[in-house]
Structure 1
């Protein structure tokens, strides 16, 4: 069984992002970049399925600038067998990403596609759902457990009311949530071995996909600074301030 895993290069989650002076976006110059944490979980789940003997090949896919090769090499070091980079300097919005991934799906014909539920840079949470719609595949989103069997996959989903389990016929799309697993630490020998694994580079034009942005970012601004808290001496004083100052009562 072949599994396709999408990974995205984002600003590292430990970095405090800064907005550009002109408000056009986030400043990523000289900023540490890494694999989107939800995508790390997706790669880990694919590797675990392979280790369990249920998957034979894992293909990691990334879209964007040439530096995305570093992210793909991380996926290869974690256990992916080969990688595909769709290289473009254009701004990629969720619909364009979904169309590119569909083109890769049509080319590779995987039985399972695993993505992180969202990227921590834009928090769009759209690509997996769009890919499922474009490809005509069933989807299991926000997965906290994945049970892969012959011809089907049972996905336990995190929903507002608790947990929901859905049975999907393969091929299918699964998006991962935080509690699905804990990604492994990549060891140096695996990092060295990943350099020898195949990495194919394609272009949107070669896949016949138009990635022209459909949305325009008007302005990006930092959140307003929160005012300092206040200490009160009694419950009565607290109620008074909530009623007359905060006006929430």
Structure 2
């Protein structure tokens, strides 16, 4: 009669132990049960990082230093012999082959002058004539590069390139009153065909990954180029104190120039 009462505590103990064995341990974080999923995502991300990226687009700040005869011509014309500007480029990368091609356009500014003259407007009023002088060089080049990919982190390269540079000096004059607003304008330009070599290196800044398969890469790009050109005429426009527009020109037989640039390249 007392045997069932003796067995009852034993049954209750077995049931409690069974429930505890089937429960999730309290001291084990839930993330531990997601480990297979995390391992899969890590593997997928690493695989995406190694996907070859074909297209390259770049934006950079440029410093241009004319050499030898071109520098002497600019100094003779009392012009500025160092240009500052920016460049744009787009290209195709044949990764995993270490070969890339590109189109490069630069905008180099060699000085800006703004002169104002107060002149009579009729017999009772005064007007202001504003003269603006711009001196620019616009190089346009195609390039062929040897560009190895080192662990998708570093991309050193050497390149050959060819194209032309538009050398331009222009002036425009306007009246503040708006009467005969466009007083005068002149433009002097010349084209120099060119070829050259360059070296540089791109270093990864960040990868932007969108699962399951999208990758964009941002690289810091530093570059040095040396270009040789065909004969060109370099002009420099000045506005005298008597409001006369003077154009001075120098013929340069073999212009040479060094370009240094620092910017960002985007691969996608």
Same fold (TM > 0.5): no
Which has more helix, going by share of residues?
1
Higher relative contact order (CA 8 A, sep 6+): 1
Query: Whose radius of gyration is greater, 1 or 2?
Result: 2
* TM-score of the aligned structures, taking structure 1 as reference length: 0.22
